[in-house]
Structure 1
Amino acid sequence: MRLVKFVEFSRKIVAVGKNYAAHIKEMGSEVPSKPVFFLKPATAYVTEGNPIKIPKGCTELHHEVELGVIIGRKACDVEEKDAMDYVGGYTVALDMTARDWQLDAKSAGLPWSLAKGFDTSCPVGQFIPKEQISDINSLPLWCKVNGQMRQNGNTKDMILKVPFIVSYASNFFTLEPGDLVLTGTPSGVGQVKAGDCIEAGLGDIVKIKFDVVNKEK
């Protein structure tokens, strides 16, 4: 199946923010009146065996574990009831965030592009065919740093569910085969530093492991 190598031909990463109530609370925000989306470029991907690089000038890099939805066929203006027909599979992903840059951008009313889209800001695991997950709305989602549990959530707590997210996004961005849709992160996000090791997974179905390093000058 071609989607096994989605990282090699994916053209974009579409991410929804503020999708878990507990995470919204820990960030001192409020539940948005409408979905919040942002983009990461395909150059943000990094796969196991390669490190997560803290971008130069970033002083506070945070981990955010997420369920990743991989698009199986072209989706444009898809209705929610049909959205799952366009899903090819899933993966576990990390939305690495330069939190200091994001907070600066928020306070100035500027985009989050640098804070969210730098190289290696989207570590991903292997492709999981959607048939292998019987209930995507009840799936443990976890993240450890140096062996210590930081995030321990479940997709049942998502405010917006996968069909709605795919449908809504497709009204604004044509989703293409191999594109990745990130669905938000549960509470427990926190800082990582050079030398740390991040592990994350979807239950016991898939697991990823990445070392964190400083980007060389």
Structure 2
Amino acid sequence: MKIICIGKNYVTNVAEKEALRQADPVIFTKPESALLREVDPFYIPDWSDNVFYEAEILVKINHNGKNIKPEFAHKYYDEVGLGFDFTAKDMLNKLREKKSPWDLAKGFNGAAPVCPKFINKEELNLEKLQFSMNVNGEEKQNSDTSFMIWSIDEIVAYVSQFFMLKKGDIIFTGTPAGAGKMEIGDVLEGFIEGKKMLTVNVK
């Protein structure tokens, strides 16, 4: 399975969307080894002291497809979930200076916690789907999918031009403002429409 991620996909003001849509979506990937089960803690790697958390809406692909048109994209996923995109910011800055790929900063072990259970999309309003993240009980991120520059269906269609999507693939659809540095001992909790989806203990 593949983990495909979308960067820089949220605005704070919906009016900003059209200008930002003139550029293509930012795409990067994480290896399967980046997946973290909820029952496992996340250990901050010893080579970084600046790992950031980001909460994101996830889409799980239900069957194979490539070159998918946006109007048919909804047929390629049934379930939506929540995950955390962990980024080693100090490593990312080094890679950007050298104009190198982001893999080491984004794809390290445990850098992609994913909720244990997904929600049938028919139960949700994907055009205005609210989600949030708490750190030690304090809300740090709160937004909804109406602030996405590229919608879920547009993301599925765009990605499928370059990667054949296969059943079980997961797409991280981007994060809103509020991402921050995690510390040892933190408890991260992610919610969709107030329902807790994911908890990660930081070690």
TM over 0.5: same fold? yes
Deviations 1:135-186 (A, max 9, x none): 1111111111111111111111000001100000000001101100010000
Distance 1:56 1:198 in 2: 20
Distance 2:3 2:93 in 1: 21
Matches within 5 A, 1:24-103: 31=20, 33-103=23-93
Identify the residue that residue 130 of structure 1 maps to in structure 2: 121
Q: CA deviation at 1:52?
A: 1.4
Identify the residue that residue 174 of structure 1 maps to in structure 2: 164
CA contact (8 A) 2:189 2:196 kept: no
Identify the residue that residue 195 of structure 1 maps to in structure 2: 185
Deviations 1:56-107 (A, max 9, x none): 2111010100000000010111001000000121110000111111121112
Q: Which runs of 5+ in 1 are unaligned?
A: 1-10, 24-29
Instruction: Tell me which amino acid in the other structure corresponds to 1:131.
Output: E
Identify the residue that residue 153 of structure 2 maps to in structure 1: 163
Q: CA deviation at 1:197?
A: 0.6
CA contact (8 A) 2:128 2:145 kept: yes
CA contact (8 A) 1:92 1:206 kept: no
Q: CA deviation at 1:206?
A: 4.2
Instruction: Tell me which amino acid in the other structure corresponds to 1:70.
Output: K
CA contact (8 A) 1:63 1:94 kept: yes
Identity across aligned pairs (percent)?
A: 34
Count of residues in Structure 1 that have an aligned counterpart in Structure 2: 196
Q: CA deviation at 1:21?
A: 2.1
Secondary structure of the structure 2 residue equivalent to 1:110: coil
Of 97-106 and 75-84, deviating more is: 97-106
Instruction: Tell me which amino acid in the other structure corresponds to 1:128.
Output: I
CA contact (8 A) 2:81 2:197 kept: no
RMSD: 1.6
Question: Structure 1 runs of 4+ off > 4 angstroms?
Answer: none
Identify the residue that residue 16 of structure 2 maps to in structure 1: none
Q: CA deviation at 1:193?
A: 1.1
Instruction: Tell me which amino acid in the other structure corresponds to 2:119.
Output: I
Q: Which runs of 5+ in 2 are unaligned?
A: 14-18
CA contact (8 A) 2:43 2:202 kept: yes
